[in-house]
Structures are given as structure tokens and as C-alpha cells.
Amino acid sequence: MSPSGALLLVLAAVAPAFAHHVGAYVPTDNEITTNFKQIKFSVQAGKFDVALRFFETGPLRADMRARAGSLPRGLEAGLSAALAAGDAAEVERRLMVFFAALARDLALDAERRTADPQLSHDARAAIGARFLEAIWRYYNLVDFAVAQRDDKTSVAVRLAFDEAAGYAKGTAAPAGLREPLARIAQVLSVLIESSTPARRGS
Amino acid sequence: MIPASRTPVQWRVPPVPVLLTAVVLIVCAEAGGASMVRFKLELTRWARNAMLARPAVHGLLGVRDVDERVLDEALVKFDAGLRLFHLHAEGMGLVIVAMTTVAATLASSPASRRPIIALLTVGGAGYPLGYLLWSGLIPYYGLERGKTIAEWLVWIPFGGATIVALWWLAGLVALRLWHH
């Protein structure tokens, strides 16, 4: 065998060394989404006393309080009252408003940060992708509730999200991210507005 | 059933330094596994603090909802690196013992036996350390850069050495079978 043939053989033999098992990561719930699921499943099971306890002692309520300035007035008190009254539809609506607000605030923040001209193309795309992941984590929880009330809003958010994800993954200018992010924020703002108790007279 | 005319193989023990290397590797695997459990909280806290001290490396943005996912993934991989070290060090210790025994017994020529045993020992003992190195690098260099460093410093050279030695040994054993 020639030396070059032997070298090729060795390289072919060593090729598997370029692949290593480094484990897999499956994103998990954070404390807010976990608490949301606790409340939601308790409500679905008709255990409103359990749901109320999860709400009163859980991080979701603490987060609602911390973000009170950017949430519709009375959202927390209304949710607490709905749980105490055993009103499942109202609980779902208020939780939907809360998570829509979380997603909207993230979309606004993402829009601002991806507009920073001092950041490189890759850095802006990476920031956009991370924000989109966080937005979807929250919006995904209430998309069904949104679609039940207003399927156009649900479709609009999904389309804008897909468009933004395309910009974040692709080679196109990350400046393109801003428009769909702004659309997500705008559509969710309208949803929150139209679902607030004051507008509904509840 | 082995034919009566065939001479039974007389198994030969590999050199003592090779066996010592394998045993020490397995001891490290067990000590590493036990330490992971004993110091899980301290290790996680250390890694998290080291990552928080280097926000640019990990792309942390100061937004809890975004950063927690990044930190969580890095901590899961940090833990996975320690687990994979434990697993590979145990496994490669046994691979060294088994394969160098085969080489010591069946590779009759010292010209091939010595390099095969050396490659198996060095490659087998070094490869698992790549996982330990990767875990240690994650908080300082991030997931991908840490992985690249561990790959080029440890996984590719040591893993490659082991693979070359195993193919070489497989070829020798096949050749021996052919001649018999």
C-alpha cells in the first residue's frame, strides 16, 4: 500500500472521532409556566380551592405584582376573585391576558434590542432568536385560549412569529426582524386592550 | 467446540503500567461520580456564578425570561459533561484492560504490539478527560467554544488514537485468523 493510501485509510478510520456524544437539552418549564400549568389543570379538574392556593402561593402572582405597571389594572385581584368564585372562563381569560402581556413586553424589548446598530449581524440575529424562544414559551400556553376568542389574532401572531423566526435563522438582514416583532407586540396589545375588564364592562 | 488439534490461546497480561492506568481511570470515574452527587449544589452554584460573571460569553441580555433558558441549557450541559466523564472513564478503563490483553496475547510482533498498547492506553485514558475539560470550560468559554477546545485538545487526538489502535488490532486478529 502506498503511503498516501495508508494515510487515507488512517484518516477514514479516525473520522468517527470527530463525533462525540455531548448529551441533549430539552427546554424545561420555568417557575411561572409551571405555576400556570398547576393552576390551569386544577381549574380543569374543578379543584378551584387547589388552584387558588397555587395562585396565592406561587410565583405567577408574585410576577403579576412585579409587573403590575404594564398589566391591565385589577388583573391580579380579578383572577383571585374568579378562582374564589369558581369561574373557569374568567380565570382562563385573565391568564390569557397576563401571558399575552408577557409576550408583548418581550416582543417590544426584542424589537428595541435588535435595532441596535452597534451590534453585529450575527449578534442581532442571536438576540432575536433568544427572544423569540422566550416569547413563544409564554404565548404558546395561551394560544388556544386566544384562538377560541379571536382566531384572527392567533393567526396573526403565528404568522408574525414564523416570519421573525425566519429572519433570526436565515442570512437575511436582522433588521427585518423588527417588523414582525412590532406586529406581534401590536396584535397582542390590541388583544389585551379588547380583553380587559374595563372594555368588557366586567 | 474447539478442535483438539488447535493450541489453546495462552492469555498474556498487559504491562503493569497499562493496568495501573486503567485502574486509576476507573477509580477517577467512581470518585467523579460520587463527587457529582455529593457536591451537586456547590458545583451548580459555582458554574452559575461563573456564567453570570461573564454575560458576554454566554450572550446573557439581563432579561430574566431570556437568560434563564440560556443558563439552564449551559447548566444541563455542564452536568452532562460530568456524567459523561463518569460513564466514559468507567467504560474506557475496561476497554483498556480488555483490548490491551487481546493485543498482548495476539499481536506477536513487538513492532505492532507496543504501539497498539500505547495508543489504546493513552487514547483510552485521555478521551474521558475531554468531558471533564468541557464541563470546566463551559462557564468560562460557553457551550460551543468550550466544546471546540475540548474536541481539538482531547476528543479528536485521544479518541482518534483509540480508534486507530482498535482498527489496527482488528486487522491483526483478522490476519491471524486468516493464516490459521
Q: What is the pLDDT of residue B159?
A: 94
Residues of B within 8 A of A127 (CB-CB) are 59, 61
Q: What is the pLDDT of residue B5?
A: 57
Q: What is the pLDDT of residue A202?
A: 42
Dist. CA A17–CA B157, nearest whole Å:
8
Closest CB to B68 among A20, A30, A126? A30
Q: What is the pLDDT of residue A201?
A: 42
Average pLDDT for chain B? 93
Look at residue B11 and tell me if it is in a domain. Answer: no
Look at residue B163 and tell me if it is in a domain. Answer: yes
Domain assignments of chain A as residue spans, ordered by start: 19-200
CA-based nearest residue to A33, from A88, A76, A95? A95
Residues of B within 8 A of A126 (CB-CB) are 59
**What pLDDT digit, counting tens, does each position of B132-178 carry?**
999 999 999 999 999 999 999 999 999 999 999 999 999 999 998 88
**What pLDDT digit, counting tens, does each position of B110-121 carry?**
999 999 999 999
Nearest CA in chain B to A24: B77
Dist. CA A141–CA A134, nearest whole Å:
12
Look at residue B10 and tell me if it is in a domain. Answer: no
Q: What are the cell numbers at A114?
A: 435588535
Q: What are the cell numbers at A196?
A: 380587559
Any A CB within 8 A of B69 CB: yes
Q: What is the pLDDT of residue A21?
A: 78
C-alpha dihedral (B93, B98, B104, B109), degrees to nearest 10: -100
Q: Enter the ipTM.
A: 0.76
- Report how many helices (DSSP H) and strands (DSSP E) chain A contains, helices first: 10, 0
Residues of B within 8 A of A133 (CB-CB) are 66, 69
**What pLDDT digit, counting tens, does each position of B89-113 carry?**
999 999 999 999 999 999 989 999 9
Beta-carbon neighbour count of residue B123 at 10 Å?
A: 23
Q: What are the cell numbers at A7?
A: 494515510
Dist. CA B118–CA B104, nearest whole Å:
11
Domain span at residue B166 reads 16-179
End-to-end CA, chain A:
86
SS3 B15: coil
The residue among B36, B66, B72, B138 with the most chain A CBs within 10 A of its CB, best to mutate, is: B66
Q: What is the pLDDT of residue A197?
A: 57
Residues 6+ away with beta carbon under 8 Å from A132: A110, A161, A164, A165, A168
CA distance B80 to chain A (A): 6
Residues of chain A with pLDDT under 50: 199-202
Residues 6+ away with beta carbon under 8 Å from B69: A27, A30, A130, A133, A134, A137
Residues of B within 8 A of A116 (CB-CB) are none
Q: What are the cell numbers at A153?
A: 389574532
> Given pLDDT bands bounded at 50, 70 and 90, which one contains residue B3?
low
**What pLDDT digit, counting tens, does each position of B14-67 carry?**
999 999 999 999 999 999 999 999 999 999 999 999 999 999 999 999 999 999
Domains: count for chain B: 1
Percent of chain B scoring above 90 in pLDDT? 89
Closest CB to B69 among A20, A22, A27? A27
Alpha helix (H) residue ranges in B39-142? 40-52, 55-58, 64-106, 110-126, 129-141
What values do phi and psi take at B26, rounded to 5?
Answer: -65, -40
